[in-house]
Structure 1
């Protein structure tokens, strides 16, 4: 297994006269422990050769010899580059495309880069699951070890005044926004504002401040957003939980909150330059760019899905209008059996500790792993079923103990895999199976179902299913449309 590092990772990893950061030291240690080769692309040497600092250049060139070179690296045709929209305006574009070509053709398993543009290119070409920033790859490699990382503390509903604004956690917000401390105390603390938080004891590790608005003009030169609105005001994920999908968890919490309170919109303002990753995350989950406000980028998501699907493909519809999706007769529905131990990991809001508790937007007491935090999840099995398509619906049947359905998802894609590298490549950002577990799974061909979790529904018992002619088995089975609609509440638009 090979991990390709971009030049922007190589330089701080090997630069003389600079202390090695804790993250880079941990990355090197984990790769060594897991037997993963850190490799470089031959073209990166010419990048380093252009460095005008002679001492640094010679040092880096000598240190590059310790890394595996990608042998006979693939070169894409002009047609392939055009297909993916990979322009080559300058030398940096050329090198970026050569690195991405290695990932595209399977010459490497992962690409690690801090380059926002490369990450966007990879996402647009369907390779985003295998491209990591340094913090993300560390979390993933830790997950592959026999002993996984401890889980982050669950999201809790807090008041702004419970936190000391002088805490170092707020430093980046202070630097980004003039008068932040005064705003927090006067507007948030004294205004009894609430927020969702991930805490370690009394210390904040991530926060999402929110408030209700109505008929608000959220962007310059744009019409008023009519209706009831949820504004995500301050969205910050700290270093200690970064890479654990806490941002995705916050968005899921916001969507559930908006549905519960019958709100029409969710929106936020953010600095495009400082928070490009937040923008990319929001765009993945149905937000649209909606102009600007006082120099900030505005992102808006509608919580009112159109009654008619129109020309929107089913998966795109479920992304744009989450938690609504297309569930008419054109969509196949599948019953997916899942053992309780895996159900607990994938769907922590329904774990034995939280089962039957308060709604998640009142108090999340679950302690989820990164795969529990995600909306985008992966399910691995050995089913031979071949009828699954993008946009189809999966109903997860918890076997053994509860023997019921409570979670509905929409399939992004279902892929059959036979190699460990291919399996890791697909599920790397969606599951915390360790290397040993994944290796055992792929001893025979696997079916990997990449899906988006859409809804937690009122429990549908096995007795109710049998009354409608649906008998759960140990493998995935298809549910007739009539039976499905008799058992499952409608997931389509309620407008």
Structure 2
């Protein structure tokens, strides 16, 4: 397998002053899988343009560890047609040159963090062979479970004072923020959300409620007065396990609980992990606001309007708010899969240690549900109530989800596995079994957002008594549409926080 690495990946890997564990994890996987790490002549050309001869010499020595493509593929006609319309400068032309190698099948995949490359790949029909670091790690971990070398990953609350400030995790924060050590030590008795592996930090989140009386004079344009949730510090090092999404859900849960009007974060975009974090925030509705003076530098300011509204077409941008304007469904999920897929909906009878977030699908907000239901007419923004099967008294309604998309007419098992990715609770073998179980009734996929866990769980018996379900034989076996009045009964009986529901 020949893997072409974009220039930004190579530079971040080989630059001596960049601390980026994510790149190390990527290269470890490439080595473990015996994939050939390739660089293109345009990458060598770009590196050789550096002003410092010593830097150029050092990089050229390090490039000896890669397979350098000896020639450039002739420009493909389709590539020429598509890219000539959108290429504006030398960087654009370099991106096109890399993609041209892929289209000509001289390499098997391309790894990049460049958004423009992904846009072009989509237009050229090769987006399934172009990966970010995150998406590549998702792919290889799901395809090679025996090669995964991780222990339990869990998100916990921890006092600052119990954390090791000398941990390498904090090194980039110290570089970015002069005085970080003093700030950190002053927070000794305050709480942060952390994720550790082998006693080393992988992710860190600190949140602060602001009530509109703060001095925002260093933010341009200036903030108006309103109650905000500030993402004080947010860093995620580890890739492939959806920790960023897990922490985002914590942010949104805190914003709901505090009844804030807006969420904001100030962040640099110097390193890949910061750029990926910005991309994740934008996916969930954060928009660029302006700049904040930070010492001699400027941070970017991103804000998320947290007023109560729901976008049915793109529900991520208003997550976790749920619209009642569409259809509402109830759908079953078996006990053996329930808490793995919906970890915040764990039952009191289950043991939390069995469900610590060491699988990507547990951490993700965006998840996959596989079904053969007769009812397939779900649309973006529709609501799903998940029913954990178990009979009259053990079967319970636990969770609300928001439909993102529905994928039917899947052409083959390879596309099916690719579409499920790491957001499904099933292994590749189990996915193959699902695909081949009934050849005349192939499964379809519902992509949904894991929005809310009911505080009180109502049983199948309750659903029958409330006349939402006629009898025990009518327990949902696929997607079953329920009325708005039925949904209101579920909301009432489960003591749902209605602040997330947009009527």
Q: TM-score band (shorter)?
A: 0.7 to 0.9
> Residues 365, 161 of structure 1: CA spacing in aligned structure 2 closer, same or farther, 3 A cutoff?
farther
Q: Following TM superposition, by how much is the alpha carbon of 1:403 offset from its aligned partner in structure 2, in angstroms?
A: 1.6
Within 1, Cα distance between the matches of 2:475 and 2:230? 42
Q: Following TM superposition, by how much is the alpha carbon of 1:220 offset from its aligned partner in structure 2, in angstroms?
A: 2.7
What's the CA shift string for 1:406-464, capped at 9, x where partnerless?
A: 11111111112232331233232523643323332332432111111111123232123
Within 2, Cα distance between the matches of 1:106 and 1:472? 51
**1:338 pairs with 2:333:** yes
**1:75 pairs with 2:78:** yes
**1:430 pairs with 2:423:** yes
Q: Following TM superposition, by how much is the alpha carbon of 1:45 offset from its aligned partner in structure 2, in angstroms?
A: 5.7
Contact 2:37 2:66 in 1 (8 A): no
Q: Following TM superposition, by how much is the alpha carbon of 1:378 offset from its aligned partner in structure 2, in angstroms?
A: 1.1
Within 1, Cα distance between the matches of 2:468 and 2:232? 48
Within 1, Cα distance between the matches of 2:150 and 2:126? 28
What's the CA shift string for 1:214-268, capped at 9, x where partnerless?
A: 1045563435343332211111223xx3331111111101111221222222211
Within 1, Cα distance between the matches of 2:90 and 2:149? 39
Aligned length: 459
Q: TM-score, normalised by structure 2?
A: 0.76
Contact 1:153 1:199 in 2 (8 A): yes
Contact 2:334 2:388 in 1 (8 A): yes
Within 2, Cα distance between the matches of 1:326 and 1:230? 23
Partner of 2:433 in structure 1?
A: 440
SS of residue in 2 equivalent to 1:75: helix
SS of residue in 2 equivalent to 1:224: coil
Q: Following TM superposition, by how much is the alpha carbon of 1:286 offset from its aligned partner in structure 2, in angstroms?
A: 1.7
> Residues 38, 164 of structure 1: CA spacing in aligned structure 2 closer, same or farther, 3 A cutoff?
closer
Partner of 2:268 in structure 1?
A: 271
Q: Following TM superposition, by how much is the alpha carbon of 1:173 offset from its aligned partner in structure 2, in angstroms?
A: 0.9
> Residues 73, 235 of structure 1: CA spacing in aligned structure 2 closer, same or farther, 3 A cutoff?
same
> Residues 346, 474 of structure 1: CA spacing in aligned structure 2 closer, same or farther, 3 A cutoff?
same
What's the CA shift string for 1:454-476, capped at 9, x where partnerless?
A: 11123232123233343333222
SS of residue in 2 equivalent to 1:487: helix
Q: Where in structure 2 are the equivalents of 1:345-494 lying within 5 Å? A: 345-351=340-346, 366-400=356-390, 402-416=394-408, 417-431=410-424, 433-443=426-436, 444=439, 445-457=442-454, 458-466=456-464, 467-470=466-469, 471-488=474-491, 489=496, 490=498, 493=501
Q: Aligned match of 2:30 in 28, 31, 50?
A: 28
* Structure 2 segments unaligned to the other structure (5+ residues): 15-22, 49-55
Within 2, Cα distance between the matches of 1:126 and 1:227? 45
SS of residue in 2 equivalent to 1:314: coil
Contact 1:157 1:194 in 2 (8 A): yes
> Residues 298, 201 of structure 1: CA spacing in aligned structure 2 closer, same or farther, 3 A cutoff?
same
Within 1, Cα distance between the matches of 2:36 and 2:445? 27
> Residues 428, 468 of structure 1: CA spacing in aligned structure 2 closer, same or farther, 3 A cutoff?
same
Within 2, Cα distance between the matches of 1:341 and 1:297? 44
Q: Name which structure has the greater RCO, CA cutoff 8 Å, separation 6+.
A: 1
Q: Where in structure 2 are the equivalents of 1:59-208 lying within 5 Å? A: 64=69, 75-76=78-79, 78=81, 87-97=86-96, 111-115=110-114, 117-118=116-117, 131-134=130-133, 136-147=135-146, 150=150, 152-186=152-186, 188-189=187-188, 192-200=189-197, 202-208=199-205
SS of residue in 1 equivalent to 2:225: strand
* Structure 1 segments unaligned to the other structure (5+ residues): 16-20, 358-362
Q: Following TM superposition, by how much is the alpha carbon of 1:374 offset from its aligned partner in structure 2, in angstroms?
A: 0.9
Within 2, Cα distance between the matches of 1:474 and 1:109? 41
SS of residue in 2 equivalent to 1:442: helix
Partner of 1:224 in structure 2?
A: 223
Q: Where in structure 2 are the equivalents of 1:309-328 lying within 5 Å? A: 313-316=311-314, 318-328=315-325
Within 2, Cα distance between the matches of 1:397 and 1:45? 55
Contact 2:343 2:355 in 1 (8 A): no
Partner of 1:289 in structure 2?
A: 288
Within 2, Cα distance between the matches of 1:293 and 1:420? 49
Q: Aligned match of 1:258 in 241, 255, 259?
A: 255
Q: TM-score, normalised by structure 1?
A: 0.77
Contact 1:267 1:298 in 2 (8 A): yes
Q: Following TM superposition, by how much is the alpha carbon of 1:90 offset from its aligned partner in structure 2, in angstroms?
A: 2.9
What's the CA shift string for 1:140-190, capped at 9, x where partnerless?
A: 31222254654642211111111121222211111111121122113x22x
Q: Following TM superposition, by how much is the alpha carbon of 1:72 offset from its aligned partner in structure 2, in angstroms?
A: 10
Contact 2:192 2:207 in 1 (8 A): yes
Q: Following TM superposition, by how much is the alpha carbon of 1:387 offset from its aligned partner in structure 2, in angstroms?
A: 0.9
> Residues 297, 13 of structure 1: CA spacing in aligned structure 2 closer, same or farther, 3 A cutoff?
closer
> Residues 288, 11 of structure 1: CA spacing in aligned structure 2 closer, same or farther, 3 A cutoff?
closer
Q: Following TM superposition, by how much is the alpha carbon of 1:91 offset from its aligned partner in structure 2, in angstroms?
A: 4.4
The CA RMSD over aligned residues, in Å, is 4.3
Partner of 2:235 in structure 1?
A: 236
What's the CA shift string for 1:358-410, capped at 9, x where partnerless?
A: xxxxx998434111111111112333433111222222221137422211111
SS of residue in 2 equivalent to 1:286: coil
